[in-house]
Structure 1
Amino acid sequence: MTTFAIKIRLNRPLWPPLIAVLALATRIWGEPGLSQPHLNPQPRSAEETARIATARAAPKDFTFSEPFEDRPAGAATVPYNSGDNAFSHPAENLENRLDFELGRALFEKLWVASPSSTRASDGLGPLYNTRSCSNCHINDGRGHAPDGPDDTALSFAVKLAVPAASDARMAAIEDYLATAPEPAYGSQIQDFAAPGHAPEARIRVKYGQRRIDLIGGEASLRIPQLTLDDLAYGPLDNAVMISPRVAPPLLGLGLIEAIPAEDILALADPEDRDGDGISGRANIVWSVEYAQPMLGRFGYKAAEPTVRQQAASAFQTDLGISTPVFSDPWGDCSPAQTTCRKAQHGDADIRGYEADATTLDLVTLYSANLGVPARRNVDDPHVLRGKQIFHQAGCPACHQPKFVTHRLPDRPEHSFQLIWPYSDFLLHDMGDGLADPRPEARATGREWRTAPLWGVGLAQQISERAGFLHDGRARTLLEAILWHGGEAQAAQSHIRSLPVKDRHSLLSFLESL
């Protein structure tokens, strides 16, 4: 691992991140590296390590595109199309298309409450946010925030937690922030309910405005103000911590899962020993499936370790559907919601769970193999100039352009691919403007996982209302940039000071991703 990490880290001093990696791994398991028990990777040869170092090196000449830059998911990249289904195609190198389409059908299926004659589709709720996965992940892309207090909150969720004294499972993890579900409402507000039950609350968002001066003009940022009206199960706990979220896009999740953990950890510099102002940290989370701590990769705070656990968590909290991973038939209903817990559920038949292992596996396969569209205009001079500005502003310090996935004999569609997600998958302090009070595992309220940028230029082609950032407050990519603070403040300030032409070039680059 040490030799590999030394070779791949080309744009920052190496020894502080490596010390942090080794120290973190030693604290958790007593030996370097983080376990990935769901994979069966082959070790890399010295020749492969050298090839990877060359492929991942930062560009020095911005007058032409890099090799394979137009194929952000490697052999899994799908041809670009201009429709709103551009994110919904199977990875180009996926052979198991039949199971993918079965997974799509389950992802789009409308679940119904129990009791029902449609036994294979019952078990919804009783409290829930949506009847279908695809209702939130619109066309497999991102959701949107309500545009105002009278708009619906579909594809928008409100997470809840209260502080907890400790979590014995994670006692060995330094800086772990223990939380528990809110006593009356659980871990998420469910704003829909089956007949005979009351929705937990009505979610409302209104916005203030903040003007930002730019060279050659100004921008207006929306400042969201969230309220929960008509609370049906009593007042919220005084210590409640609230975090609103829009549904994230589902691009390339299986490839992200296939990135070696040590490659992500090699980018961490939690003490900022190199003095560049960037101090990414790994989130370490509990794996329910493997009963051990694992590197978090998915979600706005990297709180989920695998695609399968992420899918199971969404079944539980968004739909109130039980799975082999989260088996409570009442979903996210709290112990205080006795009517919900005593209701008839959909797990009393041959399935055993409302979404059995086969269903969960098929939805996982579908989610893990949605193709990333090919880049557009990679050799356009404005795009290349924008890419240069992206690097000059220091954006790759967090939005790491490239990785090479594990060599995986059991998952050839994800195996040994040069991919361009533009994320380090680490936590970064993004400042007061984006902070909320709710931590997740090691992530504080100010820390967020670096958002992958692949496909970001197509977000509003997929869904014209798609918003950016964790709560969808940003309506444009420029607004998203202007919300960056904390560790990203220097990059944001650099971009604010750009001449209009250069700012447009930067946006052209982002729109090409």
Structure 2
Amino acid sequence: MKRLFFCFSIVVLVSCQKDNGGGDYVPVPENPERFYAGGKTTTFLATSDAFATPAENLTQEEFDKHMDGDLQFEQTFVTAPAPVNSGLGSIFNNSACIACHPRDGRAGFPKDLNARGGLLLRTSLAGATSKGAPIAVPGFGTQIQNHAVHGYEAEASYSVRFEESTETLADGTKVSLRKPIFALKDTYKEFPAEAMLSARLATPVFGLGLLEAIPETDLLASQDIDDADGDGISGKANLVWDPSLKKEVVGRFGWKANVGTVLVQSAGAYHDDMGITSYVFPDEHCEGQENCQDNSTGSPEVSDEILNTVAFYCRTLAVPAPRDIDDPTVLKGEQLFSQIDCAKCHTPKQRSGPADVAALSNQNFYPYTDLLLHDMGESMADGRPDFLADGNEWRTRPLWGIGLTKLINGHTEFLHDGRARNITEAILWHGGEAQVSKEKFKALPKTDRDALLAFLNSL
């Protein structure tokens, strides 16, 4: 009954919104071609809950499972032998999924770099393992844990300084840019000088099930590794080892597309961020780390049921509908988005194939990503390879929901390390394969730039 009332309320309020032109729900546009950003999973909420809403087309049983996953996503883990949510690692980055993904959205650049939040630092040595993964740093692993429980010492604290630069647009407008340079301090042991560091900010978790359901054949077919068409854009899929399936798969998630499924992404967050074992990652993340205690009892610290339910929750979050898509300025911005070739990487439309969850199967949806790796130039490079991704390459970020970031998460900080303080800065950091598009953006008159930004903020 709760589910039926929820759906009925959405229908009524969307209809009312179309009549009165105001409120918390998005009005149905005259041209609905891309209004259903998540296909039948789309939510029409335009409030601070827009990223945290279940897909509209779930069955009652699926809705109940989703809500169970929501509860688990918000749980805070503590040290053993607590009777509930036990197993927090002796060293860790955070203690709850929701703490990194506030309101299921995007973490901002932290005011306190070492407070628990959505920022972490990856690390590795040059080379790759036999499965193509980054090589762990002895004593530090592949992620720097900057927190520890009582009686243990964190691996390090984070520090940052900024390099400032300026971009000048064709009309003389000057835009200040900042590049964060991260380092470690107070390391529990000497950190190798040759080890690489790369910052990561947590990203939104809605719509993941649809991205996961795009057929691998479609992603591989969209590659242009050698730039055969000569347009300067040569996207490639990352091929990564899946520890659950025990085989190589196409990477879809993470800033370098280094994870292939929502399940492994979820299990990896429990393991690397919180030090919690599961059936996917049954061993503690203490190997070679001298200040980390292996508390493994042979049993996973998060149950199979909870892990699977959390993964289901992330798969079945709704995608928010775009807003104002019939507005003339937004329509002009949409045209400019294609004209300056942004759409060549931020592919507007995708289609899912068959999925374990029927609600996600065979849906047309609009994520504005090709999920491929692209060379973004030296200014954006972190110099750290990850499977097939080299130090200059990043996965194309989905743009859906980007215009709701300020409302839901209270900031407009973008890119992998939060360097961009707004969408304009994010565009101006594009280089490499996107350099030509960036220069075209810089050459636009202000009215056209404003239209392009209006379009992006409508998503």
TM, length-normalised to structure 1: 0.81
The farther-off stretch of 470-479 and 216-225 is 216-225
Matched, 1:470 2:416: yes
Residue 225 (structure 1) aligned to one of 165, 172, 181: 181
Counterpart residue identity of residue 132, structure 1? A
CA contact 1:111–1:122 (8 Å) conserved in 2: yes
8 A contact 1:145–1:153 mirrored in 2: no
Deviation string 1:349-407 (CA, Å, 9 cap, x unpaired) is xxx21011101101001111111111100000000000010000001110111011113
* Counterpart among 23, 35, 56 of residue 70 in structure 1: 35
Q: CA 1:303–1:165 in 2, change beyond 3 Å: closer, same or farther?
A: closer
Question: Retained in 2: the 8 A contact 1:70–1:374?
Answer: yes
Which residue number in structure 2 is paired with residue 274 of structure 1? 229
Deviation at 1:208, TM superposition (A): 2.7
For 1:57-456, list aligned pairs within 5 A.
67-82=32-47, 84-95=48-59, 96-116=62-82, 118=83, 120-147=84-111, 152=115, 154-164=117-127, 166-167=129-130, 169=131, 178-216=133-171, 217-232=173-188, 234-328=189-283, 330=284, 332-337=285-290, 339-342=291-294, 344-345=295-296, 347=297, 352-408=299-355, 410-456=356-402
User: Across the two proteins, how many residue pairs are aligned to each other?
Assistant: 428
C-alpha deviations, 1:308-356, integer Å up to 9, x for none? 000001100100000000011x3x323242x5234x45x56xxx21011
Shift of 1:94: 1.6
Q: Distance in 1 between matches of 2:332 and 2:140?
A: 50
Counterpart mapping for 1:17-36 below 5 A: none
CA–CA distance in structure 1, aligned partners of residues 138 and 368 of structure 2: 38
Which amino acid is the alignment partner of residue 154 of structure 1?
G
- Classify 1:72/1:105 alpha carbon distance in 2 versus 1 (closer, same or farther; 3 Å): same
Q: Is the 8 A contact 1:146 1:204 kept in 2?
A: no
Q: Tell me the distance in 2 between the aligned counterparts of 1:160 and 1:151.
A: 17
Shift of 1:415: 0.8
Q: Distance in 1 between matches of 2:116 and 2:303?
A: 28
CA contact 2:105–2:405 (8 Å) conserved in 1: yes
Identical aligned pairs, as a percentage? 41
The amino acid of 2:260's aligned partner reads P
Relative distance call for 1:165 and 1:463 in structure 2 (3 A) is closer
Q: Cα distance, 1:80 vs. partner?
A: 2.2
Bigger Cα displacement from structure 2, 88-97 vs 462-471: 462-471
Structure 1: 5+ residue runs without aligned partners? 1-63, 170-175
Deviation, 1:152, is 3.4
SS in 1 for 2:292: helix
Question: Deviations along 1:102-156, whole A, 9 cap, x unmatched?
Answer: 111111001001132x2x31100111111100000011001122347x6736210
CA gap of 1:165–1:364, structure 2 versus 1, over 3 A, is closer
- Runs of 4+ in structure 1 off by over 4 angstroms are 64-67
Whole-angstrom CA distance in 2 between matches of 1:296 and 1:65: 37
Alpha-carbon displacement from aligned partner over 1:193-235 (angstroms, at most 9, x marks no partner): 1111011111122323211111331111111121211101x11
Q: Return the alpha-carbon distance in structure 2 between the equivalents of residues 511 and 494 of structure 1.
A: 19
| 2:433 aligned partner | 487
Q: Which amino acid aligns with 2:78?
A: V
**Mapped contact 2:257–2:371 kept (Cα < 8 A):** yes
Contact 2:164/2:179 (CA < 8 Å) preserved in 1? yes
Between 97-106 and 423-432, report the one with greater CA deviation.
97-106
- 1:465 deviates by 3.0
Moved more, 387-396 or 207-216: 207-216
Q: How many angstroms apart in 2 are the aligned matches of 1:197 and 1:166?
A: 29
Q: Is the 8 A contact 1:65 1:384 kept in 2?
A: no
SS in 1 for 2:415: coil
1:266, distance to aligned residue in structure 2 (A): 1.6
Write out per-residue CA displacement over residues 218-277 of structure 1, whole angstroms, 9 at most, x where no aligned residue: 111111121211101x11223311110000111200000011111111211000011000
> What letter matches 1:76 in structure 2?
T
Tell me which amino acid in the other structure corresponds to 1:386: G
Structural RMSD (CA): 1.7
Does the residue aligned with 2:322 lie in a helix, a strand or coil? coil
Is 2:114–2:146's contact at 8 Å kept on the other side of the alignment?
no
3-state SS, counterpart of residue 475 of structure 1: coil
Please report how far the alpha carbon of residue 179 of structure 1 lies from its aligned counterpart in structure 2 after TM superposition.
2.5
Letter in 2 for 1:160: T
Tell me, what secondary structure is at the counterpart of 2:224?
coil
Q: Which amino acid aligns with 2:123?
A: L
Correspondence for 2:5? none
For residues 268-288 of structure 1, what are the alpha-carbon distances to aligned partners after superposition, in whole Å with 9 as ceiling and x for unaligned?
100001100000011000011
Q: Deviation at 1:166?
A: 4.6
Match of 1:42 in 2: none
Q: Which TM-score applies when normalising by structure 2?
A: 0.90
Given that 1:153 and 1:204 are in contact with CA atoms closer than 8 Å, whether structure 2 keeps it comes out as no
| Structure 1 residue 466: Cα displacement | 4.9
Equivalent residues of 1:147, 1:205 under 8 A apart: no
